Copies of this chain bind each other. A is one copy, B any other.
Amino acid sequence: MTSPETSVADALLVIRRELDTLVDRVLTESAAGAAPNPLEAVADLIASADRVFVVGAGRSGLALRMTAMRLMHLGLDVHVVGEVTTPAITAGDVLLTASGSGTTGAIVRAAETAAGAEARIAVITTVSDSPLAALATAVVVVPAAEKRDRSGAASAQYAGSLFEQIVVLLGDALFHALWKRSGASADDLWPRHANLE
């Protein structure tokens, strides 16, 4: 009855189609470069970190907070930049970050500080030659629209929505692989879930 995409059902189909295609492109892009595959390189970075710090602006930041919670469930020492109990990052730590453009001021500054402290940096971005990517130890390039691209060419969705969705999925894929590598069961992780709400 409603015209395309003014119905939620149609919008959901658009999102699924865009994500399906994007997952293919991320996998192809990641496999095409020099070894190691950046997806696995980011997982290795996180697995070998003393502590993991996550930082992102706006919706990317919320997506990375979803990842941070899972990494805590896995038993890692995780901090979200900006929370009151987050200490200073130092050598041995890893900063996990996402920025569509790779130029978000606050994120680039955080990465510069982390690099200055000799922490290692993992980046999810759409732009492989961005200032943020230049600071990274490992970069996952996502060929999605970045936030400021409002042309509709790369995605029918608004602003960086597609990028932010893939950050959610990539964060969960990182967790899933690290979980399977750990050999722990779901029941092993469960006791770490917050019991105070």
Contact = CB atoms under 8 A, between A and B. Distances in A.
Contacts of A88: 191-196
B85 A69 contact: yes
Contact of A6 (B42, B65, B72, B177): B177
A34 interface: no
A181 to B, nearest CB: 5
Given A23-B12, A72-B85, A181-B6, A176 B157 contact: yes
Contact of A186 (B2, B39, B158): B158
B114 A177 contact: no
Interface in A1-34: 2, 5-16, 19-20, 23, 26-27, 30-31
A5 B158 contact: no
